[in-house]
Amino acid sequence: MTTDQPHGLSPRSTSRGRPRTTGTATCARCGRTAGRTRATWPEGRICGPCFTTATRTRGTCPECGQHRLLPGPPDISGGPRCAPCAGILHDFHCSRCNVEGEFYRRGICARCALREDLNELLLTHPADPETAGKIVDVLCKADRPESIITWKRSLKVQALLTSLSCGETPLTHEGLAAAAESANREASHLRALFIHHGLLPYQDPYLARFETWIENKLRDLPEEVTKPVAQFATWHHLRRIRSMTTPEKSAQAPVHSAKQEITETVKFLDWLWDTHQRTAANCTQQDIETWLATGPTTRKAIRTFIVFIKNTGTNYRVEMGHYIAKSRPAITQNQRVAWLRELLTGASESIPYRVAGILLLLYAQPLVRVAKLRTNAVEINETTGNMRITFGARPVPVPEPFAALLREHLESRPNLRTGSDTQSPWLFPGTRAGQPLHPNGIMDRLRSLGIDLRGARNTALDEHLLVSPPPLVADALGYSHQVAFLHADAAGDAWSRYVNLRIKP
């Protein structure tokens, strides 16, 4: 087999990227050699990485006191200095917006270059100039416009933006859902951006995908299975999830639970019809007992469906009680303390995931709830510097050194530069605009360290219940009183026995 590949080069070396330049020029700042330098300033020649860092450094100049770009090196007066004070003659002001920074193209900054490209793409022959202009404004709000410039080089992105501009794709949830058939990731990213910046009304992404999931799930099933499952999914799950979903309360957790119940219900009804030619309306108690006894514990998820068909009058003859787990995972207190020490002082993970892990280990917070925390849950007293965080009815203190780590995380939250601006309300912003990190991603990262997530949460909650009454723990950590008392009984603490003794005559 022959290729057009130059002799002596591996496929990997020519697959992408530009060849590394070599040379003898030495950067005056980092001291590394470079084949090409970006500028020559009073201190000497400056390499590309140092030039980029210098032209993205802003603050207050220690010499003149002005808040502006600080490309100059530090001196005895303090940190980096502005160009005039450092003797740099280059004018860094964009010729269009007059903002100081690195030039991206012909004397203009990256934001102005992005606007120039988008105007050419969207405003040449728009069906609705006002709507097209709003799209341009939204995309230009990115904290790091260079990333949007790179993103829009995709032919799928250009085609989608063009169809939005000419009116072929309406700027609606339905329009973007139709566009997602050919450009799913691109349409989903734009939808998240438009919701985040107010161009589209709020729509929970998990709920929207759940509706499509139901349609796909029921396709190609026999009518004897499809009809009862469709009623169950629509009248129980969809109606309930729609009523409880708000911008502050995501549908992710209830959708995940509903999918499990619907999936197991489909399996049960499919087995019931294939094996006994019976449906939900005429199945027997023995059918349910046989199904549960001959398979994994995940089959217990049909209980909600059994209650549904009984309450709706479809089948009065069947019933199913609550499933009681045979074991309760837990870790030792020594293991919990060791993991807290590792996440506080170690370098096994990045700061966001260390903070999430500590919230699990210290406050017994489920990671589904951790992912949905907002920055306003954290309070910092300006006078004392003390920090508190709210999970339930009242805030709880954040001790040192966790307070210092949480403060560091707040000052440098990730994923704020391409879509979610610095005003993102999420404590753990996700890669998609307006959305937090997916809890499954947090779970995977912490599991990869070896943390038993359920065991860690149970042990953390047990430790709190050993020193405080269940109602106080429930209010502080966001649990129901019923759950707190159940955990207290399992932990064998004295508080539940104390309450039982007090209520006896």
Burial 204-215, CB ≥16 within 10 A → b, else e: bbbbbebeebbe
Q: What is the pLDDT of residues 396-408, one digit of tens each?
A: 999 999 999 999 9
Q: What is the pLDDT of residue 248?
A: 73
Q: What is the pLDDT of residue 11?
A: 40
Pair 360, 304 in one domain: no
Helix (H) or strand (E) holding 389: strand 387-390
Instruction: Show which of 36, 51, 86 is a domain's final residue.
Output: 86
Q: What is the pLDDT of residue 326?
A: 64
Q: What is the pLDDT of residue 181?
A: 79
Q: What is the pLDDT of residue 12?
A: 38
Residue pair 446/356 in contact (Cβ under 8 Å)? The answer is yes
Average pLDDT over residues 220-240: 93
Residue pair 335/458 in contact (Cβ under 8 Å)? The answer is no
Residue pair 356/456 in contact (Cβ under 8 Å)? The answer is no
- Domain residues for the domain of 71 are 25-86
Pair 344, 302 in one domain: no
Q: Is a pLDDT exceeding 60 seen at residue 17? A: no
Output 180 or 387, whichever has higher pLDDT: 387
Q: What is the pLDDT of residue 498?
A: 46
Token readout for 209 is 């995908």
Q: Give the domain CATH number at 343.
A: 1.10.443.10
Is the residue at 324 inside a domain?
Answer: no
Highest mean pLDDT (candidates 171-175, 188-192, 301-305): 301-305
Q: What is the pLDDT of residues 114-152, one digit of tens each?
A: 999 999 999 988 999 999 999 999 999 888 888 889 999
Model confidence band, residue 1 (pLDDT cutoffs 50, 70, 90)? very low
Is the residue at 16 inside a domain?
Answer: no
Q: What is the pLDDT of residue 385?
A: 85
Model confidence band, residue 266 (pLDDT cutoffs 50, 70, 90)? very high
Pair 493, 351 in one domain: yes
Q: Is a pLDDT exceeding 60 seen at residue 450? A: yes
Q: What is the pLDDT of residue 271?
A: 95
Average pLDDT over residues 480-505: 63
Q: Is a pLDDT exceeding 60 seen at residue 499? A: no
Q: What is the pLDDT of residues 50-74, one digit of tens each?
A: 999 999 898 999 888 999 999 998 8
Sign (positive or negative) of CA dihedral 270, 274, 276, 279: positive
Q: Is a pLDDT exceeding 90 seen at residue 325? A: no
Using the 8-state DSSP alphabet, how is residue 333 labeled? Answer: H
Is the residue at 302 inside a domain?
Answer: yes
Is the residue at 246 inside a domain?
Answer: yes
Instruction: Show which of 201, 221, 250 is a domain's final residue.
Output: 201
Pair 464, 370 in one domain: yes
Q: What is the pLDDT of residues 411-430, one digit of tens each?
A: 888 887 665 556 788 899 88
Q: Is 181 exposed, middle or buried (0-12, 13-18, 19+ CB in 10 A)?
A: exposed
Is the residue at 465 inside a domain?
Answer: yes
Q: How many residues does the chain have?
A: 505
Output 458 or 192, whichever has higher pLDDT: 458
Model confidence band, residue 24 (pLDDT cutoffs 50, 70, 90)? confident
Query: DSSP 3-state helix, strand, coil percentages of the chain (rounded to 5)?
Result: 50, 10, 40
Residue pair 135/196 in contact (Cβ under 8 Å)? The answer is no
Token readout for 183 is 């450009």
Going from the C-alpha of 235 to that of each of 20, 206, 305, 309, the distances in angstroms are 61, 18, 11, 11
Q: Is a pLDDT exceeding 50 seen at residue 2? A: no
Q: Is a pLDDT exceeding 80 seen at residue 322? A: no
Helix (H) or strand (E) holding 161: helix 155-166
Helix (H) or strand (E) holding 40: strand 37-41
Average pLDDT over residues 433-460: 90
